[in-house]
Amino acid sequence: MSTFGERLRNARKRQGMTKCQLGEKIGKQGTGISNYESGCALPSFNKIIALTVALNVSADLLLG
């Protein structure tokens, strides 16, 4: 079973986005995206919604 960070990283790569590009779309620095992908931090509900919109994926896909 994959983690939130792995699912986020895979969705970002499918869209061809860098961490910085995704961070700009959701109002978060690239290091914040790195923390989400590594599992060091989890995004707030509002950031999860912003991630789903920016990546054009469902929340179910990211949350598992």
Please state the rounded mean pLDDT for residues 25-35: 86
Nearest Cα to Cα of residue 19 among 55, 58, 61, 48: 55
CA atoms within 13 A on the CB side of 52: 15
Note the pLDDT tens digit of each residue in 9-29.
999 999 999 999 999 999 887
Is residue 55 a contact partner of residue 15, using CB atoms and an 8 Å limit?
yes
Select the more confidently predicted residue: 1 or 8.
Answer: 8
Report pLDDT for 24: 92
pLDDT range class, residue 34, cuts 50, 70, 90: very high
Q: What's the pLDDT at 32? A: 87
Percentage of the residues of the chain whose pLDDT score is greater than 70: 98
DSSP calls for 3-54? -HHHHHHHHHHHTT--HHHHHHHHT--HHHHHHHHHTS----HHHHHHHHHH
